[in-house]
Amino acid sequence: MTHALANGVERNGECWRCSERVGLSAFCVSCAAPQPIAADVDHFALLGLPRRLDLDRADLERRYHDASRRVHPDRHQTASTEEQTLSLAASAAVNRAYRTLRDPIARGRYWLELHGDPIGADNNRVPPELAELVFAVQEQLADVRAGHGDAAAVAAARDALASRLASLVAGLDDRYARHGAAHDPPALADLKRALSAIAYVRTLLRDVDAVAAR
Amino acid sequence: MARVVGIDLGTTNSLVAVLGEDGPRVLADPETGERLLPSAVSFLPTGEVLVGRAARARALEAPLETILSAKRFMGIGFEHVSDEDRRRYRFAPAERGPVRFLVHGHTLTAPEVSAHVLRELRRRAEAALGDVVERAVITVPAYFNDSQRQATRDAGRLAGLEVLRLVNEPTAAALAYGLDRQEEQSTIAVYDLGGGTFDVSILKLARGVFEVLATGGDTRLGGDDMDTVLAAVLLDGLPARWREHVQVRAQVLRLAEEVKHALSSRADAPLEIALPDGGRFERRVTRAELEALIAPIVERTTRSCRQALADAGLDPAGVAAVVAVGGATRVPLVRRHGEQLFGRPPLVDLDPDEVVALGAGVQAGILTGDKKDMLLLDVVPLSLGIETMGGVFSRLIDRNSTLPVGVKETFTTAVDKQSGVEIHVLQGERELAADNRSLAHFTIPIDPLPAGVPRVEVMFLVDANGILSVTARDLRTGREHTVEVKPSYGLTDDELERMLEESFDHAEEDVQQRQVREARVDAETILRVTRAQLDVHPGLLEPGERERIMRAAAALEEAAAGEDPVRIRDAYDVLSQTTEPFARRIMDHALQETVVSRALDEL
């Protein structure tokens, strides 16, 4: 029975140990037992947060710490093997949820995934507003690869990319405040455009760093 | 729950601590009062093993039989051993698997050597606590990879300890440091330069939760390297014929370490090398000279610190305090460097040699539930991934992910009726698999079906110890597959089993040897006393008594030459009974003499 639970097969909204209502939480508030985690667990629900793009960072951190205090393996060291297994899985799920939600970019991408419109591997079209910058940088990279690159020019291109990335990321918070919990097609499209641009610049920046490291 | 101890298994020194009512404390050896146990193990030709100070002292006369820092060799292969270490020790030729020392014709792995240190710490803790100790928290450098962690856990098992948790050294230090500062909300950096490893960790403290934001380091950088560069300069000053002499090299290395220590509190230090031909070589070393030599070593900590700060998304101003840990942070240049990096002088209010062990003691308390208000959230120090097509490293788990962390990956087959998928797991930050450290190989068993039909989900889970486990599940059947992992540089389960059995055999042998030794000492004592009394008091013997005593004494002598402690004890008892009437007469006689002499005095 507990073994089946440990493998995350079934959960019916009740604590496996004391039958208290647990909903989608990672642990039972009544008896502190770590709960089995569903494969498609919702990161917001796991930490007991409202499903919103504009999260309160301090609230997120407090909830993460509270959940960790309950589910972390250190708290279940003396428990049965089954409970230890549950604790390990629940703790890993809580860590993953926090890691995803705390980073604005990861949170936005997760939002798109949740609403069935993920940013896929097909994300290689140059966002129009970035065309000029992208073209200039790629020219620099081509020169370097051809053996007549200019280190100062590459460094300048890198700086331009980095500052563009910073302003794009900084713009996310405004966008999230505007969208709140919105998941209508126009809101999702806007989000996807912004996140695609960020992903594009990040990839390009990595290319520049790889070339510069040579 | 019985006591769980915290152990700092260091490159140079090791300590054991426990969490008491008034906080953590280091357990000293009840006999000697020593707190630091040198992590040195020396193997005598007789099979006897010396640990600690005695072993360290023997390094001068028997450098090849004395392993000074087994930690440097934990979880690595021969190909990772430095040139300096290849000159200092003798290794068994091995093409794969963990590096093996060659001592007295036997091979020894680093976990086996470390187990001797752990056994001694365990004995010390049991003597100090008056209680059995079977479980421990052991610290490891934060930057230790999976193999090095496994090796440490294996060493614990070989020493008869259940390792409840491996804790990163800088994190442990932060626990000890933050014990009285739980109410604060701040970010601290731990700069940990030990004998053989360097770690830097950035932690956020809030409401009793110690969250590691980033960690970095170098598992081959430490105070030992400073000794090595100074020793190289000193050796250069010697006549050429002594430079490669094993004993001279060991002596010079030891002197280099002493000089380094002395120069932490003075501007210059004298030293004298005794050469085997009776010659002497004297010189002075100034602090400035030492600092010029070690500056490149200290500088090597810079990159790790900058990277850790960047990974934590902080600049030095965002760090509220810097904690200095590890004996090498006593070196003034190291302190200045730490101050320069973080813009503030490092805190040294806790003994840098003891703070890690104290933190391990705190973590032991957290695990047993004695300490409920604190929680440690540590991270995986190095990215973890698998080798994919073309030798590319495909990252599955990013470095600095909070532990435990798991990731699922689905695999399928490339050709029809393929019966398994080979997976090569590696750890590191480089793009090519070959540039990262190989951890293990394993094969996922798959039902022979057309290519692409089987779908197996593999779960890579790094637990709170930073150790990876792998489980596989067939997505079509829902069946769990057991995965047999072949460690690249670790001990296989069979090997560990065999070593455990051998160590139990040895334990019995050791007990037997000790009993024989003790019985012999007693036998020699009674024989000596008996012979002396026969000479002094021949007049107190009854007819035939001397012969009876001589027979019993001869029997005991014969038994003592053998290896059976029971026989020695029995023969001892026979002699003791035989001499009893004689001994009583001697006592009476002595009493009478006293009375007589007192009577004479009183006259």
pLDDT digits (tens, 9 = 90+) for B283-320: 999 999 999 999 999 999 999 999 999 999 998 988 98
- Best to test chain A binding among B367, B368, B410 (most A CBs inside 10 Å): B367
- Spatial neighbors of A87 by CB under 8 A, at least 6 apart, are A34, A71, A72, A73, A75, A76, A79
Residue in B with minimal Cα distance to A7: B480
What is the model's pLDDT at position A159?
86
Q: Which of B122, B363, B211 is nearest to A77 (CA)?
A: B363
- Spatial neighbors of B226 by CB under 8 A, at least 6 apart, are B260, B290, B293, B294, B297, B328, B331
User: Cα–Cα distance between A128 and B292 in angstroms, integer?
Assistant: 55
B192 is catalytic: yes
Cβ–Cβ < 8 Å for B354, B25: no
Q: CB distance from B375 to chain A under 8 Å?
A: yes
Nearest residue, CB atoms, A78 vs list B1, B405, B406: B1
DSSP A29-76: TTT-PBPP--TT--HHHHTT--S-SS--HHHHHHHHHHHHHHHSGGGG
B503: pLDDT confidence band, cut at 50, 70 and 90? low
Residue in B with minimal Cα distance to A65: B209
- Best to test chain A binding among B162, B187, B209, B463 (most A CBs inside 10 Å): B209
Is pLDDT of B477 > 80?
yes
- The mean pLDDT value for A40-57 works out to 89
Neighbours of B196 (CB within 10 A): 25
Q: Which of B49, B11, B76, B141 is nearest to B439 (CA)?
A: B76
- Please give the structure tokens belonging to residue B135: 């479980």
Q: CB distance from B471 to chain A under 8 Å?
A: no
Chain B residues inside the 8 Å CB shell of A68:
209, 375, 377
Helices (H), B32-138: 53-58, 83-88, 110-129
The three-class DSSP label of residue B356 is helix
In B150-189, the residues whose Cβ lies within 8 Å of chain A are 164-165
Q: pLDDT tens-digit profile of A119-147? A: 876 666 777 777 888 888 888 878 877 77
Q: What is the DSSP letter of B364?
A: H
Kindly compute the dihedral angle of the four CA atoms of residues A153, A157, A160, A163, in this order, to the nearest 10 degrees.
Answer: -120
Q: What is the DSSP letter of B65?
A: G
B204: pLDDT confidence band, cut at 50, 70 and 90? very high
Distance from CA of A210 to the nearest CA of B (A): 10
Q: pLDDT tens-digit profile of B63-122? A: 889 999 899 999 998 888 888 888 888 898 766 788 999 998 888 999 999 999 999 999
Distance from CA of B89 to the nearest CA of A (A): 37
What is the model's pLDDT at position A214?
63
Contact call for A73 and B164, based on CB within 8 A? no
- Least confident range from A147-161, B187-201, B552-566: namely A147-161
- The mean pLDDT value for B576-595 works out to 82
- Least confident range from A43-57, B158-172, B177-191, B376-390: namely B177-191
- The mean pLDDT value for B146-154 works out to 92
- The mean pLDDT value for A165-177 works out to 89
Cβ–Cβ < 8 Å for B124, B112: no
What is the model's pLDDT at position A7?
44
Among B146, B192, B218, B227, which one carries the catalytic annotation?
Answer: B192
Among B126, B154, B169, B257, which one carries the catalytic annotation?
Answer: B169
CA B48-B52-B54 angle, 5° bins: 65
Residue in B with minimal Cα distance to A39: B408
Nearest residue, CB atoms, B404 vs list A65, A75, A88: A88
What is the model's pLDDT at position A17?
81
Chain B residues inside the 8 Å CB shell of A72:
375, 377, 464
Contact call for B463 and A74, based on CB within 8 A? no
The three-class DSSP label of residue A88 is helix
- Best to test chain B binding among A3, A64, A91 (most B CBs inside 10 Å): A91
- Least confident range from B188-202, B285-299, B398-412, B490-504: namely B490-504
User: Cα–Cα distance between B455 and B450 in angstroms, integer?
Assistant: 11
- Pick the residue with more confidence: B361 or B473? B361
- Pick the residue with more confidence: B182 or A4? B182
User: Cα–Cα distance between B223 and B192 in angstroms, integer?
Assistant: 11
Q: CB distance from B430 to chain A under 8 Å?
A: no
User: Cα–Cα distance between A26 and B192 in angstroms, integer?
Assistant: 35
Chain A residues inside the 8 Å CB shell of B461:
88, 92
Among B71, B260, B354, B378, which one carries the catalytic annotation?
Answer: B71
Q: Residue length, chain A?
A: 214
Cβ–Cβ < 8 Å for B481, B433: no
Mean residue pLDDT of chain B comes to: 87
Residue in A with minimal Cα distance to B406: A92
Is pLDDT of A180 > 90?
no
Distance from CA of B478 to the nearest CA of A (A): 11
- Per the DSSP assignment, residues forming a β-bridge with B443 are B422
Cβ–Cβ < 8 Å for B598, B572: no
Q: CB distance from B7 to chain A under 8 Å?
A: no
Nearest residue, CB atoms, A68 vs list B366, B377, B406: B377
Give the distance, in angstroms, between the CA of residue B367 and the centroid of all CA atoms in the same chain. Answer: 22
Residue in A with minimal Cα distance to B371: A75
What is the model's pLDDT at position A6?
39
Contact call for A99 and B402, based on CB within 8 A? yes
B8 is catalytic: yes
Report the helix count and the strand count for chain A, using DSSP H and E.
8, 0
- State phi, psi for B280 to the nearest 5 degrees: -130, 145
Chain A residues inside the 8 Å CB shell of B369:
77-78
- The mean pLDDT value for B564-584 works out to 89
Mean residue pLDDT of chain A comes to: 82
In B346-365, the residues whose Cβ lies within 8 Å of chain A are 363
Is pLDDT of B524 > 90?
no
Is pLDDT of B198 > 80?
yes
ipTM of the assembly? 0.84
Q: In the A/B pair of chains, how many CB contacts fall below 8 A? A: 58
B211 is catalytic: no
What is the model's pLDDT at position A141?
79
Q: pLDDT tens-digit profile of B361-378? A: 999 999 998 888 889 999
Cβ–Cβ < 8 Å for B417, B448: yes
Nearest residue, CB atoms, B209 vs list A65, A73, A91: A65
Percent of chain B with pLDDT over 70: 95
Cβ–Cβ < 8 Å for A12, A64: no
Contact call for B375 and A68, based on CB within 8 A? yes
What is the model's pLDDT at position B241?
87
Q: Which of B426, B383, B495 is nearest to B147 (CA)?
A: B426
What is the model's pLDDT at position B201?
93
